[in-house]
Chains A and B, each alone.
Chain A
């Protein structure tokens, strides 16, 4: 039983309204305990001159599962260019021993080992895979189990599977849909549900090339609006804390703000989380018929308290886009750099598309995308409903978060970057007039407290007594980007895992999942359907608890408490 005191740091803990006050934190056996005068400390760490926050939480990052692995396979060059042999030797030698840091590489599509190492070195202690394909769930959990240190979890993708569309087409009762969604979450050991281009991935299999919110699927006759509402309602009624995670229709299409706003309306007040909204906030004005609709999006979010977002900021350079949205990825496949792409239709269930992409400062479209993302961050009033993401790796690799944080916290730096971009964007971007600079408190909301609350993780994302001791200690002063890149210390469940950007321990992370109750009679209907139309035995659909432990490499199973049914998140 080791008791540790972290003394004299400036603490940012928005869950408890702590805004930079000097506080001592005490933890024992991985949890915070109340400081008291008679405690003896095994370790007494001086954090004066430091900023202390909970460990970072990335609620939308493509870290594991089939399409991420395809991205790795597609881009051997990504794994050759970013670490020279000399760098590799230096970093390997710098670490504590050969067993600590297994070889793993990649910049925009890193191996799972490198994913864990780089996140932790940067002060993040949890990341969530947002697009777990049901039929690929075992692989997703196996991959995430091989991400060291980080806690992880995933949202199962629903809304394009033949079974659900078939039931919606025959007007199955909402209770049936709710029980099915409850079953799917349990069977795939998910933490939430994501819908990607509602109905559109399936429609593409029937050769539809676009599907607007009120357009009908050519085979099932169902609209995206219907799919969205049915899923949002089911998730809500099951008491799953994380609202339906929504990748809206028409990703990347000029003028898609209309379908994004229609998507918000389709929720009819039900909770919904719109993901990577930057890619869904485009107008079609101006000579290039491509304009910012960030203000409209931000106003809609401000007006709809049932809606939360993450941004999916783009940053310049080489990356790879990996999405379940085959319809849109196929449309963009000719725009990739380098010019190659992978796509798959998957198991009457889902799809995936992988297109490498290089965002260029001198591209009008890319520069505008950059500006739109930042505008959204700065225009939405409530930081608790905006999460900092780049939709790793789609907008940029997660390793660019420190750069993004600096852009949001420093108007002068932002203006300097803006001046380097395509001249029309540099001259006209509304970003020039936005003076807001995020505070450390707001950054702590957007990178820790907010995502933890949106996911229903009650003992994460804050520093209160009883919470898990996931802590990041940054050295205050100097360059913000450098500060957020290399924390002084990172603790995971009370164990120091990184010091000065170097790994010092690699414990196994846990799996966050949720287990809503549902009427089991639905399993008979699912089994019947799968026996007729599926490719695996119905008995193999569900991942058992013991099996999840194996997939997760023995990591702890962290069952998330349910809300009372229908309670807002």
Chain B
């Protein structure tokens, strides 16, 4: 360094930002979409998930999709007024779907305050199992770079992560461009992928002993050196030994495999990791948090102090991880309006309900939001039509999203902020 000028901050990273994929919670940022035949396609990966996500977006945005009130086209302003009326008149609205980014989550929380709403994500059920285990016992976790650099053994419990997360093994250093050292990969109760793993990776398959709960209980007993009524199968004994001998073992669970009581699985993982860490190093890696679930959960937690499935109720903030499940609230008619947010694509569609509704969604959701009593406002998709931020599944890294082109649509954050002002004003008028 030659001098110490004290003026402006130096630009740290000139040039355009890399593109971040919003379509799963790995949020890969190493691939650049190219326009081909009016659609986007990704170079350098055959990730089916990303390609499917991109397929819902044309390179050239055609004529603007109008907002709808009771199925009839309306101006954005009229739709905002109608949506605010729905929320202002509701006594207990539910905010569901919540497929949005961090800016959207921030604004939706302000709107929830204005409307007195309960918030749940479309993946709330899967999130809840991990969350409850965390609230009850805690967890020792790791992150992608840590796995890539330090893990010598990965055990995938009941899951082949590559099926739902095509880039998972690559990102974790078990796929192409893997570090050239010995690494073990065990599929416990799941079949290994047919291809895509690096040659140096030693893959094995171990069958479950009973169900996933039984298997984990046995592994826990073996790792802790507890006496068993009858000897465990040799293959599980071998796995317990490998876990204890590994320098850094990683246990992978996908929260979407949500059998009833899967909270117990996460608790069992925590116990196993805790035991292993008495002698060596080990950590859990929970997959999940797609469609903004991770981002919304993080944002709600920092703003309010409480995670998803919380209501901003008259009696104060109320967190009910079981009672505030969106489908349950709708089934039992415990709520009287539904605001549905789905800004990443035509899914998830709003659940069928006769309740007054507001849908902030991808333009392709118009057809499913055109019933009487429903207001539809098309919104921009972060990472396609607008900038934004999303939190990666391992809950440390937040990535910026770069739009591929303008789509002329308002963001969820912009719509929710306007609605918050309108609802607050309407409620003031009611008093």
Interface residues of A (CB under 8 A from B): 64, 66, 68-70, 72-76, 78-80, 83, 85, 88-89, 98-99, 102-106, 109-114, 133, 135-136, 138-139, 142-143, 146, 162, 175, 178-179, 182-183, 186-187, 204-207, 238-239, 330, 340-349, 354, 515-520, 523, 533-542, 544-545, 547, 550-551, 553, 559, 561-562, 564-565
Contacts and interface: CB of A to CB of B under 8 A. Distances in A.
Contacts of A347: 143-146, 396-397
Interface stretch (B36-44, B106-114, B359-367): B106-114
Contacts of A330: 277
Contacts of A186: 9-10, 12
B352 interface: no
A349 B305 CA distance: 26
B398 interface: yes
B281 interface: yes
Interface string B117-148: 00000000000000100111111111111101
Contacts of B290: none
Interface residues of B, number: 75
27 contacts: A72-B302, A76-B319, A88-B317, A102-B110, A102-B304, A105-B317, A113-B303, A135-B143, A136-B397, A139-B391, A146-B302, A179-B1, A204-B281, A205-B281, A342-B140, A342-B141, A343-B141, A345-B142, A345-B143, A346-B143, A346-B396, A354-B138, A517-B3, A517-B6, A538-B13, A545-B9, A550-B103
Contacts, number: 239
A105 B1 contact: no
Contact of A340 (B4, B131, B137, B400): B137
Given A347-B146, A539-B13, A207 B305 contact: no
Contacts of B302: 64, 68-69, 72, 111-112, 142-143, 146
Nearest to A534: B145
Contacts of B324: none
A58 B303 CA distance: 20
Nearest to A105: B305
B13 A99 contact: no
Given A110-B305, A535-B148, A565 B4 contact: yes
Interface of B: 1-6, 8-13, 15, 17-18, 20, 29-30, 102-103, 106, 109-110, 113-114, 131, 134-146, 148-150, 171, 247-248, 277, 280-281, 283, 298-299, 301-307, 312, 314-317, 319, 387, 389, 391, 395-400, 424, 427
Contact of B5 (A68, A79, A162, A517): A517
B235 to A, nearest CB: 26
A492 B42 CA distance: 49
B146 A342 contact: no
A545 B399 CA distance: 15
Nearest to B431: A98
Contacts of A205: 146, 150, 248, 281
B145 A533 contact: yes
A109 B113 CA distance: 21
Given A205-B248, A533-B145, A535-B144, A348 B304 contact: no
Given A238-B4, A347-B396, A517-B5, 11 more contacts: A105-B304, A111-B304, A133-B396, A138-B398, A139-B298, A204-B281, A344-B396, A347-B397, A533-B149, A535-B144, A545-B9
Nearest to A342: B138
A490 B73 CA distance: 50
A388 B239 CA distance: 51
B30 A537 contact: yes
B135 to A, nearest CB: 5
Nearest to B3: A517
